[in-house]
Structure 1
Amino acid sequence: MTDADLPAPEPEDVEPLRRWERLWAGLAGAILSGAGVVSVFTTSNQAGSVGLLVAGTVLLVMAVSGTPLTRARFMEYEVGLARQRRRAVVARVQEESPEEARRLLEVLFTLDPEAATDPRARAAYSESYSLLLSAQLHQLFPGSSIGNLTADRGGADMTLRSADRDALVGIVVKPFPMRDARRLREALQRYTGPRVAPVLIVTSELPPVSDAFERSVHDRGVRFVQWRGAEDDEGLRTAVKAAFTEAGAPRG
């Protein structure tokens, strides 16, 4: 998983730097340039000294001009700006299959963790995850139907109706990891209470929870399961069957 897996940004597609970015670029540029000058006179690693000077100078120019550098290379040193990379990836995934779109975005989030806060990147990842989940539910439950949720389903993202039409489950899609119990509890509180159909929350990562906690939310008509792909299919199948049973379908 490397930077080479991501599409290169378009050089002409550039936004001006924000104020805080210019301030940080100026500070980092001054530090790197100073370190480069010092190392020229105190070390024998001339290539490293020049690399520091180049990087520092580039950042200072960016701070003064307010224009970001999308990509620059000197010997083995390369400088790039993450925001342009994000935009290139989000544009690229619109043309890819859900599997490839999800893979590209996960590479992006690994190399650039702040991209997970970018609304465009989050929306693209949510869409790819939802499409993959929908396709897998069809495969695990042949003959079932998936539809949109109405207000009486408690704000879930889709409905899953059993093949015999006897049971309906609301599916809440949470594609981003829920790594702490607090976030899980907040999500569960939103969907507990009187409703027409049971609700199943599907997320890419769950925190450890106690059996007592799980039983308490099941009693309120809400279930949750972790699903990242084929390796979690059995858990997804079990959770959906349990929700179907709760909704009135015969046990399968």
Structure 2
Amino acid sequence: MNFVLEPIAAVGRATLALIRKAGAMSLFGMAALSHLVRPPFYWRVFFTSLIEIAYFSLPVVALTAIFSGGVIALQSYTGFSQYHAQSAIASIVVLAVVRELGPVLAGLMVAGRVGAAMAAEIGTMRVTDQVDALWTLSTDPMKYLVAPRLLAGTLALPFLVLIADILGVMGGFAVSTSKLGFAPDAYIINTLAAVKPMDVIVGLVKAAVFGFLIALMGCYHGYTSRGGAEGVGSATTSAVVGASILLLAFDYLLTDLFFAQ
């Protein structure tokens, strides 16, 4: 009988642990958001985080977007040429980049770079008692460490995604015109005809949500880390994995919300 009940009990424990973790992260996020509307606000920390996320993440996001746009063009040509539908490649490239690949790939790159950095920085402060030292200086760690980073992540990722959209379309244009034989003017006309303002807006909304989630996961796992250097390493890994999973899950939910018929 125990042989049957033990796996069920293990699933139940894992489910309850997941619910507790989700609840703790939700409360953590709401507490951080409440500090955004209550003074003081640490503008220096905010601008430092904004530069760290937006400016220093730009090279990896740009390279990812350019090559992704080129790959989409090549793969689309391989499939569409069988049905003599090559003229749709420009539309496919711009919609795929603007609606999905721009926000998702930029989010994953930022999660790997910035989410890990936030978790490592705050986690190191936690295990070395620097977070507790902030209380002795009459400084709320949530207000000083978390709230500015959440706002910076929410604002920085739409900027990165907008750049990624432009470069991704340019990558598809470069491959299509130089390798696949498309006329540049016809490709540009088809691209402009396919994309709508709503497509760009939805991508930027996704980016803002992704930026918030990435910053939330990095700050939460760093803030709650324990156990010295090993705990900081575990927090960093959990931040990247958790942010990536949440990003893909919310990408589906937002896509269903905006594009469901």
TM-score interval, smaller chain: under 0.3
Larger Rg: 1
TM-score, reference length from structure 2: 0.25
Greater strand share, structure number: 1
